Structure 1
Amino acid sequence: MTALLENEILLLIGIAALAWGGYKLKALAASGAVGTFLVGIFIALGFKGYGLLLIGLFFVTSSFWSKYNRKQKESIRDMHEKGSQRDIMQVFANGGVPALIGLSAYVFPAEFWIYGFIASIAVANSDTWASEIGSLSKKRPFSIVQMKTVEPGTSGAISLLGTLAAVAGSALISLVSYFFWSEITITITLLLTAFGVMGCFIDTILGATVQSAYRCKVCGKQVEKKVHCQQPTQLVKGNPWVNNDVVNISSILIASVITILILM
């Protein structure tokens, strides 16, 4: 058995272990585990083991913060369309762009794909940390559209704690990448951190403007669900087809393209 084949087998085992582990730990639904395996294969094609370690770092840390202090987040999760177990669409929303960049790097090798890949994961990590940690803030978040404080968990709202978490989440991915790839200098690390945070704010803007939001006719709460309190909800904002998954993949794609254009 050649060394190349051995490495490929090890990568496949690593991808399968990540998907299976996520499923067993209830961080992934069954479809989410399948999606994770597919995303992992495309990332491995372009960026080998370091790419998998980076997406794995996002997965592990985001899963941790998703489960951290879960009781305090129960009222917020009731507003969201989906729970903490990621399905295949949620996996593709966060990992689809990195997977596409991995495939592109495999077919058309070029250094600039590395920057876009790192930025894509930095955005996903930044946004997840901002949402999960920011929801623990003792102060109500501020809506960038309504220009007033709103209920925690409302799309398009920011808080100081969430913003600091966004910076930390992006910085973690960028800093680890510095030790993985020789192409990543200190200056590029700082730029990638900034691009990751920028993507998080793009997500916030899209969430505040075009993402769908509904009003429950029973309890009056604004939610992301089309059914709440066992009754159909009423669309009060955004477009019906633009849910959180669409916003996530859009913000990651936009930030990644900007990163590649600037750093290529």
Structure 2
Amino acid sequence: MRRGAAGRDGGSAGGPREQVFSFWIPMTYCEEDFFKEYLKMMANIIVLNALICISLVFWIVSMTASTYYGTLRPISPWRWLFSILIPLTIATQGFKKKSLDHSGALGGLVVGFILTVANYSFFTSLFVFFVTSSKLTKWKKDIKKQIDSEYKEGGQRNWLQVLCNGGVPTELAILYMIENGPGEIPIDFSKQYTASWMCLSLLGALACSAGDTWASEIGSVMSKSKPRLITTWEKVPVGTNGAITFVGLLSSLLGGMVVGIAYFITQLIFVTDLEVSAPQWPIIVFGAAAGLLGSIVDSYLGATMQYSGFDQNIGMVVNHQTKDSKHISGKPILDNNAVNLFSSIIIALVFPEGLGRSFNLADWCNLGQACCTDLRTQGRV
């Protein structure tokens, strides 16, 4: 009987079963793994219930404000829940994959929440920008480590980088909600000028950031030709602020276009009165143009107001002056974050007034098509 008991407890019949102490409960390693998974599942359930409660509280507040003021539209509890849950999930995944650090994840959560509540088209544009930028940052990272003196594994963007890339869209989203209230609208300058201007301004800021990121991450490793400084057109080392290549410019155009496509598709899904509004396809053209010109503005600011020098010891371009660095271009006025911020501000302010008229041009195109159709039916063409 004693041998049998010994065999069950730890003898050769059952093999050794080591016990560990997890919290206050003695258990095997297998049981501990199960216990950890159980705790993780319960934590997720608790977080989800908390988010549902928070979204209901926000909904009650919006209903109360709507009843009190009379002119405000209440926000549905599902919109509140989506606006909290999805940005939280994305920020958590970004932190786990080292695309964001602690402060960056918190800042991204705030930016994502505000943009999602305001307009789902804002959210999808931000989402596409963040995902593509994070993927491209990790793409060919071994090469980038050799040419970028400030390269970080995965990107690890902090709150300041999130603010400089997402601060302008966040402010515009808040102004949009004050002007129009939360919800999706067709971009139509003839009917809703101010709200349409804000939508294009926000899209331009995100497309500008996407274009600059795509140009930096793709152009630096894919271009076969040496980059040229945008101000003097001289050949400079890879990594110089303000240097451009054809591959980089093309990448910036594609980056802005992808953000514009995301906005356009969301418009098709969620906007209900598109048939009586201006055509929305110029959004894609606008995004591409904002990405390209935003990258050019960023390069010009970087070439003139951001220091670039070649450090002989490490064999790389540096953004700050050292005793072993040889000056290439720019003055130490702005850093990279400030350049990104000013670029997005310039595009957000200037672009909607200029290219925003393309929506009116689209109306002229439709009018021309209608005239041609009438002429054909009359046998004149």
Sequence identity, in percent?
Answer: 28
Q: Residue 222 of structure 1: CA displacement?
A: 3.5
Q: Which residue pairs with 1:206 in the alignment? A: 301
- Aligned residue among 46, 66, 87 for 1:15: 87
Higher normalized contact order (CA 8 Å, seq sep 6+, divided by chain length)? 1
> Secondary structure at 1:111's aligned position in 2?
helix
Deviation of the 1:138 alpha carbon: 2.7
Asked whether the equivalents of residues 107 and 162 of structure 2 are also in contact (C-alpha less than 8 Å), the reply is: yes
Residue in structure 1 matching 2:164, options 86, 93, 96: 93
Match of 2:352 among 242, 245, 260: 260
Q: One-letter code of the match for 1:55?
A: L
Out of 200, 212, 215, the position equivalent to 1:115 is 200
Return the offset for 1:90. Answer: 0.9
1:1-264 to structure 2, matched below 5 A, reads 4-47=76-119, 49-78=120-149, 80=150, 84-109=155-180, 110-136=195-221, 137-181=223-267, 182=274, 185-214=280-309, 216=311, 218-219=313-314, 221-225=316-320, 237-262=329-354, 263=356
3-state SS of the aligned residue for 1:135?
helix
Deviation at residue 191 of structure 1 after TM alignment: 2.9
Contact (CA 8 Å) 1:177, 1:184: kept in 2 or not? Answer: no
Letter in 2 for 1:224: N
Residue segments in structure 1 that go unaligned for 5+ positions in a row? none
Contact 2:227 2:235 in 1 (8 A): yes
Q: Secondary structure of the residue that 2:76 maps to in structure 1? A: helix
The equivalent of 2:366 in structure 1 is none
Task: Note if contact 1:81-1:224 (Cα within 8 Å) is conserved in structure 2.
Answer: no
Q: Distance in 2 between matches of 1:90 and 1:59?
A: 12
The alpha carbon displacement at 1:44 in A equals 2.4
CA 216–72 in structure 1, closer or farther in 2 if over 3 Å, else same:
closer
Equivalent residues of 1:32, 1:90 under 8 A apart: yes
Stretch of structure 1 that moved more, 116-125 or 2-11? 2-11
Contact in 2 for aligned 1:81/1:225 (Cα 8 Å): no
Kindly report the root-mean-square deviation, in angstroms, between the aligned alpha carbons of the 2 structures: 2.5
Q: How many correspondences in the alignment?
A: 259
Q: Which has the larger radius of gyration?
A: 2
| TM-score normalised to structure 2 length | 0.62
User: Is the contact made by 2:147 and 2:316 (CA closer than 8 Å) also made in structure 1?
Assistant: no
1:58-101 C-alpha deviation (Å, 9 max, x unpaired): 101011111001101112221x4866211111111111111111
